[in-house]
Amino acid sequence: MNFVNLPHPSSANSLPGLRFENSFLNELPEDPLQENYCRQVRGACYSRVMPKPMENPQMLAFSRETAELVGLSEEQCQSREFAEIFTGNAFLEGMEPFAMCYGGHQFGNWAGQLGDGRAINLGDVINEKGKRWALQLKGAGPTPYARGADGLAVLRSSIREFLCSEAMHHLGVPTTRALSVNLTGEEVLRDMFYNGNSQMEPGAVVCRVAPSFLRFGNFQILTAQQDFELLRKLVDFTIHHFFPELGSPGEETYLKWFREISQRTAMMIADWMRVGFVHGVMNTDNMSILGLTIDYGPYGWLEDYDPDWTPNTTDAGGKRYRYAHQPQIAHWNLWQLANAIHPLFEKTDGLEEVLNQFPDFYQQQWNRIRAAKLGLSEFRTETDQPLWDELLEFFAGTETDMTIFFRMLSKVSGDSMEENEPMEILRDAFYDPEKIQDEQKNKLVQWLTHYLERLKEDGMDRNERIETMNRANPKYVLRNYMAQLAIDKAT
């Protein structure tokens, strides 16, 4: 990632003509109306829309890695043209801006048509390796799906999305990527704390990058409208372009496709749980059909361990999307997707079988991850589940930072079990180590004794164990204060 001091002079006369192949537009029906006003859209998968002209676009930050994915150099990303294009003020040949139509369940209730309210897609770039990357601007102005909102984004939330997209990728979590954050030169009115005290904030646009931004809700809206012909067409399109290995369209392929979505979703959620990530808004319109983390809104990371924590203040009462509940919500969301695609099946037994298999498949992924976090070659439920439960109970009773604890745990060995040494090794994981009672300390020593016995029984080489644990247990996650430091620096 590269932060640039602004203003930055253009260092390239123009951006190269990236090769666009907009199959979504070419193969699926569009909204016949061209005017940009809020409306219900039927018989179409998208509406064409122009971004709002921005007053003074300036590039604030870009990701070198993501730029390379789409075929842009560092020099090109620092050009004036880049800022103009990736705020929506200018277009490269082949760019065709549009907003997707989709619906969704929000907090467990069907919300009807939603759609890209402040996201405008630019098209799909085909890079030198033949890989497809969709480009999407968030905060570039209202669309027919804006539901009366201004379609804009503020710098604060844009930086949070930019940083988290790239952080999640490097933590090994399936995710959409972020190419850039550009200032718009305009102010946006927002109520940061939802307390009625709205203030003007700097506006910004994030460029998201992913193979596709298709969501569960793209399919849900068509079934809700009883447009089963278009539903089949969209499913066939999705399989052809993103799951071609599954075969030709038909019930058997559709079932394979749903199973693949279910498994990708399970693996994504297991990785969220591994790094202590809480999405905050797991509505079905925020679920990627490719099993990617998408739509970084009021996300957060566990600090002192609390399985019931959610970063979303609007969910503070019910805590539907709390950390520990994310696997169950993913399962519920898959039921809603199954309900959406069931008209394509004569019998739904296969769909139900896949859904019933989800908890077991997720548990397999979670056990694999927990084994790695503990430095074990396998997770044995009969012996390791009690060990795991005892550890989480200790976390909850001592304000322990899960991320730091697991990272430091790899340093514990039989040689370090003398007197108070384990507490010293793990000290940085406790928010207030002086307040930990002797009873809790004794519980930790007892747990470590059992843990070391389990390691000895497992027999993994110590260096291999440390390497395995460090791969599974990040040293750093994007804590709220880190994101805030970046926001403060940018403003």
| Cβ-based burial of 308 (10 A; exposed 0-12, middle 13-18, buried ≥19) | exposed
Helix (H) or strand (E) holding 299: none
Which residues, listed in sequence order, are joined to residue 199 by a DSSP beta bridge? 190
Contact status, residue 77 vs residue 29, Cβ threshold 8 Å: no
**Token digits of residue 329:** 């919500």
Q: What is the chain's alpha carbon radius of gyration, rounded to the nearest angstrom?
A: 24
Residues near 86 by Cβ (< 8 Å), separated by ≥ 6? 57, 59, 137, 179, 180, 182, 205, 207
State the CB neighbour count (10 A cutoff) for residue 193: 10
| Cβ-based burial of 43 (10 A; exposed 0-12, middle 13-18, buried ≥19) | middle
CA distances from 176 to 211, 288, 320 (A): 8, 9, 24
How many helices (H) and strands (E) in the chain?
Answer: 16, 13
In the block, tokens 């590269």 appear at 2
With vertex at residue 398, the alpha carbon angle to CA 393 and CA 402, rounded to the nearest 5 degrees, is 70
Which residues are known to be catalytic? 285
Residues near 235 by Cβ (< 8 Å), separated by ≥ 6? 219, 249, 254, 257, 341, 344
